[in-house]
Chain A
Amino acid sequence: MINLTNLHKSYTKIKVLKGIDLFFDHEGIIAILGPNGSGKTTLIKSILGMVIPDRGDIQLNGDSVLHKWDYRNNISYMPQIASFPQNLKVEELIKMIKNLRRQETKEAELIQLFQLKPFLDKKLGILSGGTRQKVNIVLTFMFDSPFVILDEPTTGLDPVALISLKQILREEKKNGKTILITTHIMNLVEEIADQVVFLLDGNIYFNGTVNELKEQTQHDNLEHAIAEILKESYV
């Protein structure tokens, strides 16, 4: 269960979050959508404790997580840009993160799935963007955390890897996990999301299912539905 109450955050002069109230109490995939600069990443990072909110509270399973750190044992996070220490080898990085968390892992099957075996002894600095993103996926899903947070997970992935990622997401959902995901790829949202949260200027503009969003905007196509909201907001 994740519970955000009255979350405020501003950077110098820009107000990024203006009193967000959100409550996720069930398993499933929640897509957090919004135009660039709408506060998606800030919201995610607040939950992770990387951004410290000005006001409001964040609770995970009933306990406030502000200024705490051990609750992150229950969260897997996949950052937007996969940039790792250049001089570390892939297997060393995996070992390192395993060593830091000391939980059971299932990296072997993920490495197999994304065909990363030939890259294990390569340094991260020489890998392509897509391959690094695959390493990023392995690092995220090798732990069995009840909460998973993904920030633009599809960046740089080839179609095969994308299909594998969707497969993993479905399986993890079946395993009863709560998965938060930000993306600009509407196909992905339509295909996998159970709930859509649409952020606009630091407020929640919409919170419901994909179908409800389509009904509200009277568009069959999700992409057009989103575009409709954005157009309205610009006017």
Chain B
Amino acid sequence: MFKILKYSFFDLMRSRWSYVYFLFYLILGFILFFLNNDVTKAVITLLNIIIVLTPLIGTIFGVMYYYSSREFTELLLAQPLKRSTIFLGQYLGLSLSLALSLIVGLGIPFILYGIFQSSAILDFATLLLIGGYLTFIFVALAFNIALSFNDKIKGFGFSILLWLFLAVIYDGIFLLSMVFFHDYPLDKFALGATMFNPIDLSRILILLKLDISALLGYTGAVFQKFFGTSMGMILSLCILSFWVILPTFFLVKKAQIKDF
């Protein structure tokens, strides 16, 4: 598996898009510091960008990579390799290269502006961890969708729809149901609904870490009340891990029965 991982990773590291993605974060980091010199504020601004952008990029790259490497995958399938080896290798190679672009791209400006001397280092690390998690989750989801549709357009359409749903529409439905059912006790429903959306979960996790109650919102507040800050963080990290493991499991299962 590591051979495939290595080749996918290096192939991607040399592609133009990895550089674009890396440069984007690099420039974003510098602009944030240019606009305000405060590391903590920069982390909060970044939070809003990362929880929307990493899922989107993960989704698009995941689908794009799967379809553009189809013939290569076929070449690998004819070699004495297990299917799970091939697909896990490609999945991890892509996710790692995206995560690396994020970490190095943001890491450089933050290090230059003295993140190591700042008290916000743990907040920043949590933010990068969340970015990494979201990348792995959405690449896995995108691979699942791409494996289900041979038609590129359909694959793209569904994965963008999935991102749109989890990043935007989900919150809308959530909010509407809150308004409609405000006569009922909604704590448990809100908790459950949050766990089914990795983006919401990530937002709460980082806000718990930053300890900004003003930004927590209803679900965040419920979360904090229910589990407390540290328990809430551990729990949300566990659920995020499930969000990585389950789609990866289905990805391998799907790959095993698919015809190429």
- Using a CB–CB cutoff of 8 Å, the interface residues on chain A facing chain B are 11, 45, 48-52, 69-73, 75, 77, 79, 81-88, 96-97, 99-101, 139
Further contacts, 11 of them, CB under 8 A, given A45-B259, A69-B83 = A45-B260, A50-B74, A50-B260, A72-B81, A79-B74, A82-B71, A86-B68, A87-B15, A96-B7, A100-B81, A101-B79
Q: Is the CB of A50 within 8 A of B257?
A: no
Q: Is the CB of B75 within 8 A of A84?
A: yes
- Asked if B3 is at the interface (CB within 8 A of a chain A CB), the reply is yes
Q: Is the CB of A48 within 8 A of B83?
A: no
Across the interface, which residues of B come within 8 angstroms of A85, CB to CB?
7, 11, 69, 72
Across the interface, which residues of A come within 8 angstroms of B14, CB to CB?
87
Q: Is the CB of B82 within 8 A of A69?
A: yes
Query: For the complex, what is the distance from the CA of A97 to the CA of B80, rounded to whole Å?
Result: 10
CB distance from A53 to the nearest CB of B (A): 9
CB distance from A47 to the nearest CB of B (A): 10
Complex partner residue of A52 from B7, B76, B259, CB under 8 angstroms: B259
- Using a CB–CB cutoff of 8 Å, the interface residues on chain B facing chain A are 3, 7, 11-12, 14-15, 68-69, 71-72, 74-83, 257, 259-260
Q: Is the CB of B260 within 8 A of A97?
A: no
Q: Is the CB of B71 within 8 A of A100?
A: no
Asked whether A83 and B72 contact (CB < 8 A) given A51-B259, A51-B260, the answer is yes
Q: Is the CB of B77 within 8 A of A84?
A: no
Query: For the complex, what is the distance from the CA of A148 to the CA of B14, rounded to whole Å?
Result: 33
CB distance from A45 to the nearest CB of B (A): 7
Closest to B150 in A: A11
Asked whether A11 and B259 contact (CB < 8 A) given A69-B81, A73-B80, A88-B11, the answer is yes
Across the interface, which residues of B come within 8 angstroms of A48, CB to CB?
77-78
Enumerate 14 A-B pairs (CB-CB under 8 Å) in ascending A order: A50-B78, A51-B259, A52-B259, A69-B81, A72-B78, A72-B81, A75-B78, A77-B78, A84-B75, A86-B15, A88-B11, A96-B7, A100-B3, A100-B81
A51, A84, A87: which has the most chain B beta carbons within 10 Å? A87
Q: Is the CB of B79 within 8 A of A81?
A: no
Query: For the complex, what is the distance from the CA of A49 to the CA of B75, rounded to whole Å?
Result: 12
Q: Is the CB of A50 within 8 A of B71?
A: no
B3, B257, B259, B260: which has the most chain A beta carbons within 10 Å? B259
Query: For the complex, what is the distance from the CA of A83 to the CA of B260, rounded to whole Å?
Result: 15
Asked whether A79 and B79 contact (CB < 8 A) given A50-B259, A50-B260, A51-B259, the answer is no
Closest to B4 in A: A100
Query: For the complex, what is the distance from the CA of A86 to the CA of B72, rounded to whole Å?
Result: 10
Across the interface, which residues of A come within 8 angstroms of B69, CB to CB?
85
CB distance from B93 to the nearest CB of A (A): 11
Query: For the complex, what is the distance from the CA of A51 to the CA of B72, rounded to whole Å?
Result: 16
Across the interface, which residues of A come within 8 angstroms of B3, CB to CB?
96, 99-100
